Amino acid sequence: MSAGIAATAAALRVNAGVRGPAVPRAMKAWVLGGPGELRLVGKPVPRPGPAEVLVRIGATAVCGTDLEVIRHGAPALVEGGPPFNKNFTPGHEYMGTVAALGPGVDEFTIGDRVAVEIHAGCGRCERCREGMYTACLNYGQNYTGHDKGHRANGFTTDGGFAEYAVNHVNTLVRVPGEMSDETATLIVTAGTATYGLDVLGGLIAGQSLAVIGPGPIGLMAVGVAKALGAAPIVLTGTRRDRRRLEIGQRFGADEVIDAEEADPVAAVRRITRGAGVHYAMECSGATGAVDQAVHMTSRGGRVCLAAFAHEPVMVDVAYLVSNNIYLFGIRGEGRSATRRAAALLAQTRFPVELLHTHTFTLDRVPEAIRYAGERIEDAIKVVVKMEAGRGPAA
């Protein structure tokens, strides 16, 4: 059990039905005001209910989707509308230590180190009963008068830029003891990449893959695919991404393509002797990237879209249809992909720690977000550490 939890022995328990050491009544948390406005405030420590635990957050990574939520609102949905000025705490890629157990919880024990996935579906709609809880039909229906049990921490319920959060037991995965807090925050990112590969085919050993965009998800897609036996793997980016392309090679990319120096579609066709790849993952959100992914793919192949585009994109639908190419979109890390991703990272099949470039303390969340959004000092994955951090570091 961490010293921080033990130090709260004098505090009062948050809920009569909760089992575990005493925890504080109040905590520090960042809340979203208007677009782009974050404030550090005191909030009540949340109370875990049945099938829930209270997590004392150890570290939270900044995701590109956090930037979208903070600046524009979507895809967050709080109390039936945009998340602004609703005392909402963003942040969804976090890990921590189980601090208290809700009534009836025996799947975890106090002191367990855990990483979290975002979505806990309502469990009652058609999609949840099919196992597609990241596509829950009751998304955002979790507030007074409209509570159907859905949770998506950092999107529809409070997230990880705080000292504590409540999570459903279905969203938790144990963190190996030797894994650092910073690396553990990357389990969620690896889970998204794993889910994308699941949708594309799952069994990808010996199959070829193109990844567009060497951001955290794209790089994770390379590493996970390599660990699962995909070959060849082609990663595309730009001159601005040169460091990331180098990391992609260390993660297992067989070829990296600078899209400013060579036509990525032609390069993929050359590498695959004209056939195209079995699978493509579009992880950039760039204009034209979806169409590139389609034209990189072989007849009967599959394309997964794992990035939010900022504007409508054009796709050669005639080519897609005439070549029987399948197009999929994913949200989050469904099908319990986070658990499989955690197992892969624990096996250290690729140097995932290279993605973590900067660490900030909780009081410096706006600075952490600026580093991530502006790629200051070549930032890739910026982590907010709840304990004393070491500040920005290359």
Q: Report pLDDT digits (tens) over 364-388.
A: 999 999 999 999 999 999 999 987 4
189-329 folds as Rossmann fold (3.40.50)
What is the DSSP-derived secondary structure letter of residue 12?
P
Distance CA 299, CA 39 (A): 51
Pick the CATH number of 3-118+153-175+351-385 from 3.90.180.10, 2.160.10.10, 3.40.718.10, 3.30.160.340: 3.90.180.10
User: Minimal CA–CA distance to 201: which of 147, 295, 271, 278?
Assistant: 278
Q: Provide the residue type at 271 as one letter.
A: I
209: β partners: 233, 279
Q: Which two tokens stand for residue 167?
A: 């999570």
pLDDT digits (tens, 9 = 90+) for 330-364: 988 878 889 999 999 999 989 999 999 999 999 99
Looking at residue 20, its pLDDT comes to 61
Block residue for tokens 């250290």: 348
Looking at residue 393, its pLDDT comes to 38
Give the list of residues 6+ apart from residue 266 with CB closer than 8 angstroms, or none.
Answer: none
Distance CA 300, CA 93 (A): 34
Does the pTM surpass 0.85? The reply is yes
Looking at residue 316, its pLDDT comes to 95
Strands 26-32 and 38-44, sheet pairing? antiparallel
User: Minimal CA–CA distance to 385: which of 95, 45, 37?
Assistant: 95
Largest separation between any pair of C-alpha atoms in the chain: 69
Q: What's the distance, CA 106 to chain centroid?
A: 26
Distance CA 13, CA 346 (A): 34
Q: Provide the residue type at 226 as one letter.
A: K
SS3 249: helix
Work out the burial of residue 22: count CB atoms within 10 Å of its CB; fewer than 13 is exposed, 13-18 middle, 19 or more buried. Answer: middle
Give the list of residues 6+ apart from residue 229 with CB closer than 8 angstroms, or none.
Answer: 204, 205, 206
Cβ density class 119-132: b for 16+ within 10 Å, e for less:
bbbbbebebbeeeb
Distance CA 261, CA 259 (A): 5
Residue 290: how many CB atoms within 10 A of its CB?
24
Looking at residue 17, its pLDDT comes to 58
Looking at residue 223, its pLDDT comes to 96
Distance CA 143, CA 137 (A): 15
* CA 187, 191, 197, 202 torsion-angle sign: positive
Block residue for tokens 């009967």: 300
Looking at residue 5, its pLDDT comes to 40
Query: CB of 91 within 8 A of CB of 99?
Result: no
Distance CA 372, CA 63 (A): 8
Looking at residue 11, its pLDDT comes to 38
Domain with CATH 3.90.180.10 in the chain: 3-118+153-175+351-385
Looking at residue 18, its pLDDT comes to 63
- Mean pLDDT per block of 10 residues along the chain (394 residues) reads 40 48 90 97 96 97 94 93 97 96 95 94 94 93 90 95 96 92 94 93 91 96 95 93 94 95 96 97 93 97 90 92 96 86 91 95 97 94 77 36
Domain with CATH 3.40.50.720 in the chain: 189-329
Query: CB of 71 within 8 A of CB of 79?
Result: no
Query: CB of 197 within 8 A of CB of 224?
Result: yes
Looking at residue 308, its pLDDT comes to 82
